[in-house]
Amino acid sequence: MIENQWYVILESKELNCRRPLRIKRLNEQLVLWRDETGSVCCLADRCCHRGASLGCGKLVNGKLACPFHGFLFDKSGVVKLIPANGSIGKIPETMKVRAYSTFEACGLIWLWWGTEEPRSREPFFFRELANFSYSSFKDHWKVHYSRAIENQLDVVHLPFVHGNTIGRGKKTVVNGPVVTLEQELLTFYVNNVKDTGQTIPLRSDEIIDYQKLFHLQFHYPNIWQNFISDKIRAFAAFVPVDEEQTIIYIRYYQRMVRIPLLRQLFNYLGKISSIIILRQDKRVVETQLPSKSEYKMNEQLIQGDRPILIYRKHRQFLMDNKHEK
């Protein structure tokens, strides 16, 4: 994983105020809960006393009680009570577990993963989506998150994997694509056309007015947006579980239909369509070997793979530099 970055790890609705949630993210066992104010708290899911799972414990006045011996942890991971030592007993300073910084907005929960202090309080999000309504679902994939991301950067596969959905039209020739990278925002512009016997596809620098083309965006480390139209977007968060598993959160955003009941129906139909399309991808991507991608690996890329190549190159740069600025 890329260190010192904000990762989407969960949807807000999955974390309630009554009990802790035990999850695995970024190759780590974590426990999350909400304190008395509703704020998100996150600790490593291992008691510093005897190694029990804190996620199996309970909440006591906004703090987390270990299920084994009742040690009480605050959101900073510090033990505030050792019942066996009495309510006024001294607590050693070493009695603590790792705490993680979190941020919650737009119905999503981010976690800061790395050794540095969070560089900013608010992680990046596609802020223009605030005026859209959405439907959502999540899907578990048996691949490294890098493979799942690359599938959404792949403009070559559409007529083959999605021939009866978004790949209709047999547009097999891939011009460009044009790719821009601004800080951690990767944008790529798509110009796929039918094969009419043209000799070779256009290079990126031969495409005029590329800004007018259909485009998609990816923001490191793990969120993506598809500009289907001015009023319809698709959003995805590719959440690393471990080296071989990913959870994908998909949202279908729209601002075409605003009447409440019709809006709900429209959003639901958009979600069903998104599930069908994503499962078409999943069937193939889970067969890829190796399940984790690297900047340099035994693959023979072509011109149409330019978004994937640039994604890999910049990801490697961020990993090598630990996102230092």
Same domain, 183 and 296: yes
Closest CA to 221 of 151, 123, 324: 123
Asked if pLDDT for residue 187 goes beyond 50, the answer is yes
Determine the 3-state secondary structure of 165 from DSSP: coil
Q: What's the pLDDT tens digit per position in 139-149?
A: 999 999 999 99
Question: Distance (Å, rounded) from C-alpha 213 to C-alpha 209?
Answer: 8
The boundaries of the domain holding residue 18 are: 5-113
Same domain, 145 and 37: no
* Residue that is last in its domain, among 113, 141, 165: 113
* Bridge partner list, 311: none
Give the separation between CA 33 and CA 137, rounded to whole angstroms: 21
What's the average model confidence in pLDDT over 279-303? 96
CB 154: neighbour CB atoms within 10 A? 16
Q: What amino acid occupies position 267? A: N
Q: Which residues of 181-204 are buried (b: 16+ CB within 10 A; e: fewer)?
A: beeeebbbbbbbeeeeeeeebbeb
**Do 193 and 102 fall into the same domain?**
no
How much is the average pLDDT of 193-210? Answer: 92
| Residue whose entry in the numeric block shows the structure tokens 């480390």 | 221
CATH code, domain with 148: 3.90.380.10
- Does 137 lie in the same domain as 83? no
User: Which of 58-67, 150-159, 207-216, 314-323 is the least confident region?
Assistant: 314-323
Same domain assignment for residues 144 and 185 = yes
pLDDT beyond 70 at 178: yes
Q: Is residue 118 situated within a structural domain?
A: no
**pLDDT exceeds cutoff 80 at 325:** no
What are the pLDDT digits (tens) for 98-133?
Answer: 999 999 999 999 999 998 889 888 899 998 898 999
Contacts of 153 (CB under 8 A, 6+ apart): 186, 188, 216, 218, 307, 308, 311
What confidence score (pLDDT) does residue 323 get? Answer: 53
Q: Of the ranges 43-52, 119-128, 312-321, which one carries the lowest mean pLDDT score?
A: 119-128
- pLDDT value of position 199: 77
Over 50: is that where the pLDDT of 165 sits? yes
How many domains is the chain built from? 2
Summarize the confidence of residues 11-18 as an average pLDDT.
93
Rounded average pLDDT over 273-294: 96
The residue-averaged pLDDT of 21-39 equals: 97
Residue 65, H or E segment: strand 63-65
Mean pLDDT estimate for the chain: 95
